[in-house]
Structure 1
Amino acid sequence: MATCQKLLSCLFLQLIVILMVSNLSNAQGLKLGYYHKTCPNAESIIQKATYRVISRAPTLAAPLLRLHFHDCFVRGCDGSVLLNSTKNNLAEKAAVPNLSLRGFNVIDSIKAEVEEACPGVVSCADVVALVARDSVSMIHGPYWEVPLGRRDGRVSIMNQVFAELPAPLANITTLRQMFAAKGLNMKDLAVLSGGHTIGTSHCNGFTNRLYNFTGRGDTDPTLDPNYIVKLRQKCKPGDTKTLVEMDPGSFKTFDEAYFTLVAKRRGLFQSDAALLDDPETKAYVFLQATTHGSTFAKDFAESMVKMGRARVLTGNQGEIRKHCAFVN
């Protein structure tokens, strides 16, 4: 009888745990077709508006994807990266890593279109998530279904960026910790780093690797010496204005070429090179480099959905901002 009671007790505890996990998952409140009844044309409006932008300026796809990444990694995917600083608060926009962010005007414009159709219904955070997806798919990248229902946060603090956003100088240990804090594993790290297949970087994001890696006027030994020569021709010490393609030759096209570069020790950032310092991320890099990105598109879509769930606000949390740069 005692054994039976213990067994029933254990089963009851297991059931409680299962229910708690289920409720936590459901509490996120994200689902496909979230606006089907409240704003049935929302996704279509956003997709068409994004197409107009990307068809004219395909290089904006990278900044729009980056906006979503920077939003989700600080306070979760709540649109906090879009908020302007106020008299009493410096917002995320003011942090050095975010000073080079672009595309705010695109998000504001698209949000305005959605507001005209359905006032006060669609969040800025959801607009950012959908625009990132549509931008990538429009430059030959993967398409993924975006679960929706995010609410907008009312808080944006500059100093939190430095603590939560992975930096270009980050090593594998720091990257592992920062991704794990968002519910992302080492495969997600390798996959999402592949987003560097599009876009550009200012020289000061990596010139320490070219001229003064350890403070002795040396170069980064993990960077291909021949590539260092080429990069030095483009970037002089102290250059903060010149832009360099992160994936030379195909920086406007979403493809697997990034992994070929990293495998050849030609990743632009220390965080790119760091992928070769972990067995799992290294294996993923070489898998994509040697199989022409056989699973990259599918993997990227899955990891983006995972990232898009990071610490979301749902239900009665947060708000639906009328203008993305200001709280209501």
Structure 2
Amino acid sequence: MQIMDLLNQSILSLPEYLIDANKRIFGIYLLSAILLTIPVYLVQKQGFKLPEFLAFLFNKKIWLHPSARLDYALFIINRILKVLLWAPVVLTMVPIAIGFSDMLEVLFGKIPPITEQKFIIVSIFTCILFLLDDLTRFLLHLALHKIPVLWDFHKVHHSAKVMTPMTIYRSHPFESYLYASRMAVSQGLAVGVGYYFFGPTLSMFDVLGANVFVFVFNLMGSNLRHSHVWWSWGDKLESCFISPAQHQIHHSNNPAHFDRNLGSALAIWDRITGTLVKSSEVGRIQFGISRNDPGHPTLYQAYLRPFQDNLSRLKLTKKN
């Protein structure tokens, strides 16, 4: 009976994604994506007609494509698997924060708070949270691309042939577990640093519960990152921030674009590693793993093919 209650709870909670500012498909973020699509449409069509705009935005060939339908199914099933399987064993922020703060005390000694001015503390802590979150996202994303065992799981996300805002949830449960653990680590490190330098009273600038930087970034078209809408920010901004168009390049099936634009919000990490590509440098693209890889067209392949690929690689390694 308890399992059935958990299943019902996980399914019934799905609409909450639309009212949670920490979720990518939060209603305000979706609305901003629609509004930002208007200038893109006007440039392409040289005019505005509402029926044609809606047909462009909600293109049936995209939203009803088998790849998109798989995204919707993975969104629901992964939510259930999260509640039943890996959520109870994911890393938690509190012990990481305490351990890191204690380590700093051991290495450098205990110090009094460096300031008691609340505005300064909140400003610095908000920046630390954002920077550590973005950096750890980049590092994990880089590992998912460069480590073959992890790439087999990340390929599920890259196998999307078309993209909608729901493609953000197209992932293998193992990858989702890694990202959840990453979040615990990044937040734990941020809180540990904050506790050591400022004491236990910590807070961040937020909008509806989301870090203000995350809120602004999502408001600037984060849902267009996984879409057919080419929303470029121009070379100058794209040297600092990853635009939706740049992330679409990341999903290109052209080998020249593989492992590029790995960053989430900030482009600095890609600039450091030499993986940054600006949208002005790229022409038309198609989505997918590669032009010769069929991807993961079914639920069976999405969940089990990564394990099969891992096993095949292991057998090949033993032979060699």
Q: Which has the higher helix share?
A: 2
**TM-score normalized by the length of structure 2:** 0.29
TM-score, normalising length: structure 1: 0.29
